[in-house]
């Protein structure tokens, strides 16, 4: 009969000495729990907050992530869940230039928000327009969506006007959609131009 005990005993040091963090963090010793519990978080950077209701205004933004994702949506007629796809662009706010309503509270620099484009004829037209404005070119002929998304993540600083539009679905549920109007790219994040229209 196979005896698993020696193998198990041999594996204990492997699991006791190191553990890779769930999101690619550095290795840490599991047996060193006292030092972990005793350490301060002073040198640990804060995770940026995700903002669902960004105040309308002019901002300097960078794109932290651009990609295609699957999501589940309930069909209004049948009530069944269906799997759909959308293009999602995640922006980081580098600086608030001006709020449309001066009484709004500005969000902290580094806050994140996203804009989505449905993967259908209408959504792809809006994405094409946004991609051209983001990349500062009218010519994206021959480029694949994958190539365009990769280029959009290329540390560009964008000046943009942002607003949130509320729409009501047939079921009475209210949805908020962020609309980002790119004015242009900015080489220097401290540079601020006229807010445009």
Kindly tell me the sign of the dihedral angle through the C-alpha atoms of 50, 55, 61, 67: positive
Q: Which two tokens stand for residue 100?
A: 């449309």
- What confidence category does residue 31 fall into, taking pLDDT thresholds of 50, 70 and 90? low
Token look-up 């709020």 returns 99
- Enumerate residues 6+ apart whose C-beta is below 8 A from 104: 55, 56, 57
The interaxial angle of helices 145-152 and 121-135, nearest 10 deg, is 40
pLDDT one-digit tens code per residue, 9-24: 444 444 344 444 444 5
Per-residue pLDDT band for 196 (boundaries 50, 70, 90) equals: very low
Do the beta carbons of residue 62 and residue 155 sit within 8 Å?
yes
pLDDT digits (tens, 9 = 90+) for 91-150: 999 999 999 999 999 999 999 999 999 999 999 999 999 999 999 998 899 999 999 999
* 45 or 117, which is more confident: 117
| Domain positions in the chain | 5-38, 57-186
CB–CB of 27/72 below 8 Å? no
> What end-to-end distance do the CA atoms of the chain give, in Å?
78
3-state secondary structure of 135: helix
Task: Enter the pTM of the model.
Answer: 0.72
């Amino acid at each position: 009969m196979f005896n698993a005990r020696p193998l198990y005993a041999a594996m204990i040091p492997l699991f006791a000495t190191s553990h890779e963090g769930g999101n690619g963090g550095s290795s840490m010793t599991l047996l060193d729990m006292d030092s972990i519990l005793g350490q301060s978080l002073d040198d640990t950077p804060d995770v940026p907050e995700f903002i669902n209701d960004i105040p309308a205004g002019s901002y300097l933004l960078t794109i932290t992530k651009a990609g295609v994702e699957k999501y589940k949506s309930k069909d209004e007629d049948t009530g069944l869940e269906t799997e759909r796809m959308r293009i999602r662009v995640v922006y980081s706010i580098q600086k608030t230039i001006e709020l449309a309503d001066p009484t709004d509270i500005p969000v902290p620099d580094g806050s994140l928000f996203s804009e989505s484009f449905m993967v259908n004829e209408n959504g792809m037209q809006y994405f094409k327009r946004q991609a051209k404005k983001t990349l500062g070119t009218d010519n994206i002929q021959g480029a694949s969506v994958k190539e365009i998304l990769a280029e959009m993540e290329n540390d560009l600083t964008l000046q943009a006007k942002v607003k949130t539009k509320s729409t009501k679905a047939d079921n009475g549920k209210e949805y908020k959609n962020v609309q980002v109007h790119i004015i242009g790219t900015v080489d220097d994040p401290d540079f601020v131009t006229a807010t445009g229209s």
